[in-house]
Structure 1
């Protein structure tokens, strides 16, 4: 058997969308045809349950308490934040469910072909950061599992300086977790839905068991539930409330823009996206409550001077080796699922859009995994304060991007996009040239709105990165950065789009991908390794082209 040599360029069979256009698309960026839309309602629900059960959600409320607020305020912040975010996720996710294209392609409609790179690069950087953060969480869970099997592992001599925020056994756990998730990075998203189903069945059971332990070990759940007042008051209380709310919003700000990366595989009505509005606040608040109860019980049970807001620290005190092993395993599975669903696939779609001739989703995920090592993420998670600072920084760039995409689709263009024009840079539809030729390919309205949304947060961001730089009251806008950037960007973008309308993008009827796929006769020849049918199309000039799609009743066999 002769093995084919690996190729630098990815496979790019010709399609109705990629014809003469390899610079802007490949097979993974083309709209998903009917036969590959395998995500039903159950898959979408399992995906979100899977995504919610992760260490960061556990840490939301407990890390808020660690900086001075009570458990009531912590739960209120989580519930309110996800109630707000659920509307944005549902609205932007519906675009993917209608047009079956990923975030980088949808961004071309509101930003222009070249302007979309601002949104793409912003998201890919942040996705790699969060991928690295979840690697640390998963690595810590692996370390606890190994310690349960081999107790002396936890006492290995540490050869890493304390200033780095990680130990030798922690680095071993990080490496093992990185290796464990590697095979999943090579899977097609349609196959990954089974990972989310398995996780949504196993992890909730394990965490509910931890919740039961918390109330059994310490009747009443520990001392945190007896706390009546926050440690701060007045204006400091208000700013701290907003800062923590921004941190929670920042954690899922990425999914406010990348939900279409998964909803594009949906075979059910886009209305199913509305399910997120009641579901997300309930699920995420419940998980945060588990984190509060377990952290509170752990502090009381083991007579700790501080709250063990990190679940790995909490489990390290458990006397049962079996309990530590299976508890940590649930966090390994939790981190694995969310790292792929929220981070590696997002980064992969962005990398694919940046270099479609050389990168596809599989290669993009591998590249994300390799780059994550460069970010030393263990230093970000060194303390509760650093964790919240990172999450706040995460939010201020994605709030404007989400606002522009949401209002462009639902308000400015009245839910009508031309999906074929999103793949044709020569088409005037989304060139945004107008009367100013030098802006071709860039929607200047989106650029201005983005800068207006981000600019007020920059002094606070600078101070957060380097507290030695004094910015005075300039720190306050940053403390509610996501809300400020989202609202400011939406207002500016709507005004500019109404005062200086882009007439070329206004169409009377949407152009959907199925209309393009079914517009030419075709016959399925076979399946390739990714279950992608190769369809031969006879064009008007008699040339045989290859297209992805489903057969229609009017197809002509060639």
Structure 2
């Protein structure tokens, strides 16, 4: 058998609608019928697996540590997840309906070239958080090894303190990175099996930890820990916690379509507004319960579950429990890193260089940039300002989500042309590839919160008053930007992009029996390139 010669440039397969592979490739094209395999239970498994991870556990637990009571912390989680499920469901519908990735959809809202701002914003954060999650995964591996060989705790260190790491931590980081790498090569349409496995195994760990906490404390004291903040201080801290909940998933709220595009149809993702609040509230309840128990058991709050299991003894039973919990969090981190970061970055890199990068190559690039180039272990150890930058980036992401929601549902009323999104000269070119209405609306959504964003990076900038607006930056950015964009589009409509109907060949996939009966769909379920000379090409907004 003759091996296929490797080429840096992807095979020049004819793109479905794009004039050349400079603007699209197989991974950017609408998902063919035979790859639309996600059902509603895969969406449920996706969110359960995504909810159970160390950052979510820490976020909920940290609210207790900063002075909020048990009920207030849970309320912030519930309200935050209810709000974030709005863009998740709205944008999830678009992906499941049109079967296109976020970078392609962004062209219809922002303009063909201005959409690159949203894409680059997303890929930067994806690479950064990939590295941070990989560092967390390395910490999980460390606890697994210590559970097997307790002597590993005294592993000699040959690295200087200025490196931000130890020989032990770097070894564990490398082991986790290597374990994680093969999963990056799995296509998104097939990665659902990992989410199913994670959604079954990881909650068992969380329930076990919570049972341990109740057993150690008797349960009652966990819920009786009083809040240390009162009055306006408690109110603003609650809003800050709410904003943190929203900010944690603000990136995925933009590009959830990268996953729902593999669903059979829009109905499969309608479960999101129910499963998201339930899954995250349950995980938050676990985290808050265990964190509150750590105060009673150890005399101080430990909101990192890895810190808690590291305090367990070295008896055979305790070592087995430590290994199981560390393994569960390793699996949890793996699933979250793939779902929230590597696949998203793969789609974004794919859109930036479709001639050379597909999702798999983009994910590999993310693994090297986020995993090594950005030296995440050093950032965590010595760059709190950069962490403040990444954590506050929701100032930009919420307005992006607001524009997308408003454009598709309020302005265009779901009547878009998929073929036009693949051509730089189409109805979505707007003004030189820029939709100025989106730019103006984003400025309104970003500028009032920007001083608080700067103070989040450097507390010496400005005064404390600017943090108040930053505490509601996601709510303000999403809803105000959506309203301003709608108003500008009503006052100054772009009539070319306002269509009478959605232009896409296979609207009703669920009722399709014969693939060959669909215009533009071949017998193998793959979308074929449309004849550009037909009148329908003109109707689709081609120039």
* TM-score exceeds 0.5: yes
Q: Is contact 1:247-1:388 (8 Å) kept?
A: no
Please report how far the alpha carbon of residue 382 of structure 1 lies from its aligned counterpart in structure 2 after TM superposition: 5.9
Q: 2:10: which partner in 1?
A: 10
Matches for 1:347-362 after TM superposition, within 5 Å? 347-362=345-360
Q: Within 5 A, what are the aligned runs for 1:439-454? A: 439-454=431-446
Assess if the C-alpha contact under 8 Å between 1:418 and 1:511 holds in 2.
yes
Q: 1:15 to 1:24 in 2, by over 3 A?
A: closer
CA shift at 1:540, angstroms?
A: 10
Q: CA deviation at 1:28?
A: 0.3
User: Matches of 2:119 and 2:377 in 1, distance apart?
Assistant: 25
Task: Specify the alignment match of 1:502 in structure 2.
Answer: 494
Give 2:307's match in structure 1, choosing from 291, 307, 313.
313
Unaligned runs of 5+ residues in structure 2 are: 508-514, 534-543
Question: In 2, Cα distance between the equivalents of 1:321 and 1:521?
Answer: 56
Moved more, 403-412 or 446-455: 446-455
Alignment length (residue pairs): 519
1:335 equivalenced with 2:333 (yes/no): yes
- Which 10-residue stretch deviates more, 37-46 or 390-399? 390-399
Rounded Cα–Cα distance in structure 1 between residues aligned with 2:216 and 2:421: 58
Give 1:266's aligned residue.
263
Structure 2 residue aligned with 1:61 = 60
* Alignment-derived partner of residue 394 in structure 1: 393
Structure 2 CA distance for aligned equivalents of residues 538 and 56 of structure 1? 46
Q: Does structure 1 conserve the Cα–Cα contact (< 8 Å) formed by 2:9 and 2:356? A: yes
- Report if the CA contact (8 A) 1:91-1:273 is conserved: no
Secondary structure in structure 1 of the residue aligned to 2:190: helix
> Relative to structure 1, is the Cα distance of residues 538 and 352 closer, same or farther in structure 2, using a 3 angstrom cutoff?
closer
**Contact (CA 8 Å) 1:21, 1:423: kept in 2 or not?**
no
- Report the counterpart of residue 545 of structure 1 in structure 2: none
Structure-2 residue corresponding to 1:299:
295
Match of 1:76 in 2: 75
Cα distance change on mapping 1:216 and 1:514 into 2, 3 Å: same
Q: Distance in 2 between matches of 1:168 and 1:374?
A: 18
Aligned ranges 1:92-241 → 2 under 5 Å:
92-162=91-161, 166-220=165-219, 223-228=221-226, 230-241=227-238
Query: CA separation of 1:469/1:3 partners in 2, compared to 1, >3 Å: closer, same or farther?
Result: same
Is the 8 Å Cα contact of residues 32 and 526 (structure 2) preserved in structure 1?
no
Task: Decide whether aligned partners of structure 1 residues 190 and 11 sit closer, same or farther in structure 2, where only a CA change above 3 A counts.
Answer: same
In the superposition, the TM-score normalised over structure 2's length comes to 0.90
CA distance in 2, matches of 1:386, 1:75: 28
CA 501–540 in structure 1, closer or farther in 2 if over 3 Å, else same: closer
Partners of 1:273 and 1:176 lie apart in 2 by 35
String of CA shifts for 1:167-199, please: whole Å, max 9, x gaps. Answer: 332222222111111001111112111111111
Aligned CA distance change for structure 1 residues 359 and 45 (closer, same or farther; 3 Å): same
* Farther-moved stretch of structure 1 (333-342 vs 276-285): 276-285
1:396, 1:481 within 8 Å by CA — same for their partners in 2? Answer: yes
Corresponding residue number in structure 2 for 1:252 = 249
| Distance in 2 separating the partners of 1:218 and 1:511 | 61
- Matching of residues 392-471 of structure 1 within 5 Å: 392-427=391-426, 429-432=427-430, 439-471=431-463
Give a deviation string over 1:112-155, Cα, whole Å, max 9, x none: 10010011111111111221221122111111001111111122
Match of 1:286 in 2: 282
Cα distance 1:67–1:378, how it changes in 2: closer, same or farther (>3 A)?
A: farther
Question: What is the Cα deviation at residue 337 of structure 1?
Answer: 0.4
Give 1:160 shift.
Answer: 4.2
Select between 200-209 and 9-18 the one with higher mean Cα deviation.
9-18
Deviations 1:406-439 (A, max 9, x none): 1111110111111111112222x1111xxxxxx2
| Unpaired runs of at least 5, structure 1 | 433-438, 525-532, 542-558
Alpha-carbon displacement from aligned partner over 1:319-355 (angstroms, at most 9, x marks no partner): 2111111110000000000110111111110110011
Q: 63-72 or 161-170: which moved more?
A: 161-170
Q: Which secondary structure does the structure 2 equivalent of 1:514 belong to?
A: coil
Query: Structure 1 pair 89/271, CA: closer, same or farther in 2 (3 Å)?
Result: same
